[in-house]
Chain A
């Protein structure tokens, strides 16, 4: 069975500073990994995904994430935070034999300060 752990339920960053959101997973088969973002009063939107191939994946709005199998991690980064990045971020994992069932982490709320 798969599971996802996001470290830190709240993260505060200064505008222009690095954004780093941590995600660790457990999976018994090769995982497929996703980051979703939820802006206030909206549903979730896909930021980026890793399925196979290159382990560094780029997403929308300048975000990227690196799949590290040895560390079972899929941390999300953005070099320079913008005020518009304030949102809740969810890491999710799907196993290749699970008909695409997604297991979500608990979420990390990002606050960007001027």
Chain B
């Protein structure tokens, strides 16, 4: 089954403790992206990647890192999480770089930073 898999689904952590949220897709998609969803703000893009070793900042990249060493994986790293990073996070992927291809989303990771 074609899918985007995020882990974990739920994560509670403390301020400053490094964490990684994994994202993997099995569709051989070039484009991958991370979003955060906050009430009243919709989805905002954190980082995106056009292909292996090609990443770029989205609208809200501060406090996050990403890497794209393999085509299928695109982990999101929070080196020193803070409470304002408490949010619902989504990974998404798409065939090619074009607007014409739909985004495929994972089921989300709900992160709480205390």
Binding site for B on A (CB under 8 A): 4, 9, 32, 34, 36, 41-46, 49, 51, 90, 94-96, 98-102, 104-107
Contacts and interface: CB of A to CB of B under 8 A. Distances in A.
Contact of A46 (B31, B42, B102): B102
Interface of B: 4, 31, 35, 40-45, 48, 50, 58, 90, 92, 94, 97-103, 105-108
A90 B58 CA distance: 19
Contact of B99 (A9, A32, A45, A104): A32
Contact of B103 (A9, A44, A96, A99): A44
B105 A101 contact: no
A44 B105 contact: yes
A75 B31 CA distance: 28
Given A32-B99, A51-B100, A102-B103, A43 B90 contact: yes
A41 B42 contact: no
A104 B43 contact: yes
A43 B100 contact: no
Nearest to A45: B105
B4 A43 contact: yes
A90 B94 CA distance: 18
A52 to B, nearest CB: 10
Nearest to A48: B102
B31 A100 contact: yes
A99 B41 CA distance: 22
